Amino acid sequence: MKAKLFDYIDRDNFVYNLSGLTKLMAFICLTFSVMFSYDIRYILFVLAVSFCFFRISEITFRQVRTMVIYVAVFLLINFLLTYLFSPQYGTQIYGTTHEIFRFNSRYTVTLEQLLYQVTKILKYASGIPLGMIFLLTTNPSEFAASLNRIGVSYKASYALALTLRYFPDMIRDYQDISLAQQSRGLDLSKKEKLSTRVKNMMNIFVPLIFTTLDRIELISNAMDLRGFGKNKKRTWYAGKPLGRNDYIAMLFSAAILAGSVCVSVFVNGSRFYNPFI
């Protein structure tokens, strides 16, 4: 169910065993390199790399199915809207016009536009598996530890980890409350009018908020009693010391970022790859 979306499952493989810091760095480097470059060849290369890591990390399709569907819908809408609002943008960028097909004078299909839009979709498509790998293979506490290591205050990092940690609990509370309210006759199914359904949802959120507040009071007391916030720094049980693989992975992702910049500067002379001249 939905609770599974952020469930961290412990596995033993190359990607899982990297430290959270490495994964965060690699995620930033690789995403930035595809966001920076508009060279479809380079983007395809990074896409291939990110799919390799996806395979290595042994994430199953079932785990990410919901996310994949949302992303696919988003990309499709994005693709259509881009064309709808700026059908000639590709021609502007690449400076040439290779027309394939024409609806009317504004809406023509050009090779340039096609290249531009495909490049753009591939950019997203290569970034998203990276994000999934990062979210699904990083233990929330270890993630907090990595954030703290790159300079985010440990209180903020811990707050984030706790949110991830309690998210499944909240969903469970929500399901319990929703059942109890349904047994009093609250109808949440599609049979009811939308306005009534929204009103009925409110009857679930109020108790949910109060139960969550109770939970927060309890957890903050428990944390106070065990010395949270005493010192300016803290150590992390879940933090992993950096190993050889971490350095290799970080160097590799830095190289990819550098490659992306180099390709733009030395090969293409701009962020765009122009096969039309």
Residues that bind other proteins in the complex, under the rule CB under 8 A: 8, 10, 139-141, 161-162, 165, 168, 173, 176-177, 179-187, 200, 202-204, 206-207, 210-211, 214-215, 218-231, 233-239, 241
Please say which residue, 106 or 226, places its beta carbon nearer to other proteins: 226
CB of 50 to other proteins, least distance (A): 26
CB of 64 to other proteins, least distance (A): 20
Please say which residue, 106 or 232, places its beta carbon nearer to other proteins: 232
CB of 234 to other proteins, least distance (A): 5
Closest CA to 14 of 246, 215, 219: 246
Distance CA 124, CA 43 (A): 10
Please say which residue, 98 or 197, places its beta carbon nearer to other proteins: 197
Compute how many other C-beta atoms are within 10 angstroms of the C-beta atom of residue 62.
8
Direct distance between the N- and C-terminal alpha carbons of the chain, in angstroms, rounded to an integer: 52
Where are the alpha helices (H) located in 138-193, listed in sequence order? 140-149, 154-183
Helix (H, G, I), strand (E, B) or coil at 99: strand
Show Cβ contacts of residue 57 under 8 Å, excluding neighbours closer than 6 positions: 11, 13, 14, 15, 16, 133, 136, 137
Closest CA to 275 of 102, 88, 38, 48: 38
Closest CA to 141 of 272, 11, 240, 56: 240
Please say which residue, 92 or 220, places its beta carbon nearer to other proteins: 220
Please say which residue, 116 or 236, places its beta carbon nearer to other proteins: 236
Closest CA to 37 of 274, 276, 277: 274
Distance CA 230, CA 189 (A): 49
With beta carbons less than 8 A apart as the criterion, state whether 43 and 119 touch.
yes
Please say which residue, 48 or 222, places its beta carbon nearer to other proteins: 222
CB of 224 to other proteins, least distance (A): 6
CB of 23 to other proteins, least distance (A): 16
Q: Which helix (H) or strand (E) holds 108?
A: strand 108-110
CB of 163 to other proteins, least distance (A): 12
CB of 4 to other proteins, least distance (A): 12
Please say which residue, 12 or 84, places its beta carbon nearer to other proteins: 12
Please say which residue, 218 or 258, places its beta carbon nearer to other proteins: 218
Compute how many other C-beta atoms are within 10 angstroms of the C-beta atom of residue 240.
17
CB of 255 to other proteins, least distance (A): 30
